[in-house]
Amino acid sequence: MIRQATLADAKAIAKLTVAAMPDLAMQFCASNRIDDAIRLLERFIASEGNQYSYGNALVYTADGKVAGSISGYDGAQIQQLRQPFFTYLQENYHPHGFEMEYESEPGEYYLDTISVSPLHQGMGIGKSLIKAALQHAKALGHQKAGLLVDEENPDAKRLYENLGFTIAGHKLLLGKMHHHLSYQL
């Protein structure tokens, strides 16, 4: 079942989010420990008004547990949504600041993090979450959705293209080139 995430889902979403981007999550907290990254992300997933907030997430539940999650938001709001998180990073981990390119664009509903637990992969949960997020974006009045996929991840790119996404361009994000994919709603 897919539903809007709640505060009670924060820990499960944090684990999934870190699993989706372990290198970046550990860069955020200047640590090589996954648990540090999970604690950091859980803090922000459990709060509102930031890009990682549970309010921006949908979850897929199986047997009463979160088996997958997807987060998304209005791409035009990235600077506002990112500010609390990056301020916290600077105050607690990166005193000289933490610079990162903007991954989303105005005019698109940006799909930020998509993750399915290893126990539930290969069951179509990721596709279901993406489709639900696209329906959510359309219901909010968006005409386009976008996401980034690492150019070194052709399987993910193929998944998105099979769902109707097309390459809209390329973006550099923390030294790695990504395909910017777009979907017309």
Query: For residue range 114-141, what is the model confidence (pLDDT) as tens digits?
Result: 999 999 999 999 999 999 999 999 999 9
The total number of structural domains in the chain stands at 1
SS3 content of the chain, % helix, strand, coil (to 5): 45, 30, 30
Note the pLDDT of residue 174: 79
Q: What pLDDT, in 10s, does the model give residues 93-111?
A: 999 988 889 999 999 999 9
* CATH code of the domain in which 42 resides: 3.40.630.30
Residue range 37-50: mean pLDDT, rounded: 97
DSSP helix/strand/coil, 27:
helix
CB-based contacts of 59, cutoff 8 Å, min separation 6: 2, 3, 4, 5, 9, 12, 13, 66, 68, 69
- Which amino acid makes up residue 178? H
Residues of the domain holding 110: 2-184
Positive or negative: CA dihedral 174, 111, 115, 120 = negative
Do residues 55 and 48 lie in contact, with contact meaning Cβ atoms separated by under 8 Å?
yes
Q: How many C-beta atoms surround the C-beta of residue 104 within 10 A? A: 26
Q: Does 11 have pLDDT greater than 90?
A: yes
Give the pLDDT confidence of 157-184 residue by residue, as tens digits: 999 999 999 999 999 887 889 999 999 9
On the 0-12 / 13-18 / 19+ scale of CB atoms within 10 A, 26 is middle
